[in-house]
């Protein structure tokens, strides 16, 4: 096994210099380069366990996400891994699958593994273990979920603002707008519904409950609802999540209607996926990369004992279609 003594001998520097370099101290450029080349030549792998014990750090960050097959979550994780790799931290990843019992179990397992910090994605505010996240003795960052006591920093997409903007345009430009909303009650969907309600309040109109269709996530209920909505005279549909937006588009097409001409469709989604299909849909895209950058920056600042904002909103990007766009947008 290659040791730091071997590295020092190969590089022609002291063992102390190699040790300082491995622990992040800055050396003379020439010495740093010698050590880098020696490490590369001898294929040296640092003993992370020994380093962790010495510094009382695991150099790992735990991430507890909702579902790994969720497109938003997978994109976020891919970006976070890149950012934490650069910072010298290893990610320990697991999911709570929208279950309070699993969330509590996985949370304890991450803590047992001595992670230096914890990132929680889309937890339910009502879950007891999440409510107590601020009492943990490590930095915690919440993503796309909120606690009323603001006990941990929160990084959030500004979905309420975006939903309000799009809903305002649909209310003002279309005769009759239907809203398709999942039955789930997580923070993200609550914010999107709040944005729609805010649009009605801004126009001094009352939202007709009959205009709302609630659907179960992971079913074909959205697709089945679209023909009925068309029969009832709706000329526009606002869908509050990506999966159901795709179903709505298919439903409009299979009903023999033209998207954008006969039926205006708007919803949250991933621009590069739907735009590549050349579908004229107004899209609200969450800024995944910017969210990840803020999450990483906040976590690293907390690890460095710096002050951070308690709540940060990242603005969504709206890709407007001409049937909804005007000079005010």
Q: What is the 3-state secondary structure (H, E, C) of 18-64?
A: HHHHHCCCCCCHHHHHHHHHHHHHHCCCCCHHHHHHHHCCCCEEEEE
> 282 with 253: CB under 8 angstroms?
no
Identify the weakest region by mean pLDDT among 59-68, 183-192, 221-230, 317-326.
Answer: 317-326
Q: pTM for this one? A: 0.79
Over pLDDT 70: what percentage of the chain? 91
* Stated length of the chain: 329
- Give the residue-averaged pLDDT of 264-273: 79
Alpha helix positions (H), 98-241: 100-112, 128-131, 159-173, 187-202, 221-231
Return the pLDDT at 316. Answer: 95
SS3 280: coil
Q: Which domains does the chain have, with CATH numbers?
A: 4-46 (no CATH), 58-157+288-314 (3.40.50.2300), 159-286 (3.40.50.2300)
- Give the residue-averaged pLDDT of 16-28: 80
- Residue 247, φ and ψ in degrees, nearest 5: -65, -40
Report the distance separating Cα 267 and Cα 318, nearest Å: 10
Q: How is residue 135 annotated by DSSP? A: G
């Amino acid at each position: 096994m290659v040791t730091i003594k071997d590295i020092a001998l190969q590089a022609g520097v002291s063992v102390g210099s190699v040790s300082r370099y491995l622990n992040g101290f800055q050396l003379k450029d020439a010495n740093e380069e010698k050590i880098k080349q020696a490490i590369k030549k001898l294929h040296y792998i640092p003993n992370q366990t020994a380093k962790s014990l010495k510094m009382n750090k695991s150099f790992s960050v735990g991430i507890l996400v909702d579902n790994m097959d969720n497109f938003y979550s997978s994109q976020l994780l891919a970006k976070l891994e890149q950012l934490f790799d650069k910072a010298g931290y290893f990610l320990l990843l697991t999911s709570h699958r929208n279950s309070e019992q699993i969330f509590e179990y996985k949370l304890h397992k991450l803590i047992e593994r001595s992670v230096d910090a914890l990132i929680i994605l889309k937890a339910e505010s009502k879950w007891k273990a999440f409510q107590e996240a601020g009492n943990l003795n490590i930095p915690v960052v919440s993503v796309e979920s909120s606690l009323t006591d603001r006990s941990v920093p929160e990084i959030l997409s500004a979905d309420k603002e975006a939903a309000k903007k799009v809903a305002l345009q649909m209310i003002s430009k279309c005769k009759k707008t239907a809203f398709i909303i999942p039955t789930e009650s997580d923070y993200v969907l609550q914010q999107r519904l709040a944005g729609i309600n805010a649009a009605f309040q801004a126009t001094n109109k009352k939202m007709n409950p009959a205009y709302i269709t609630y659907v179960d996530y992971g079913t074909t209920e959205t697709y089945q609802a679209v023909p009925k909505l068309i029969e009832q005279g709706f000329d526009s549909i606002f869908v509050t999540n990506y999966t159901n937006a795709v179903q709505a588009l298919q439903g409009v097409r299979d009903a023999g209607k033209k998207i954008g001409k006969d039926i205006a469709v708007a919803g949250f989604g991933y621009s590069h996926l739907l735009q590549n299909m050349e579908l004229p849909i107004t899209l609200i895209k969450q800024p995944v990369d910017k969210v990840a950058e803020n999450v990483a920056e906040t976590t690293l600042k907390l690890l460095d004992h710096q002050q951070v904002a308690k709540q940060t909103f990242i603005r969504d990007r709206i890709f407007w279609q001409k049937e909804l766009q005007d000079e005010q947008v």
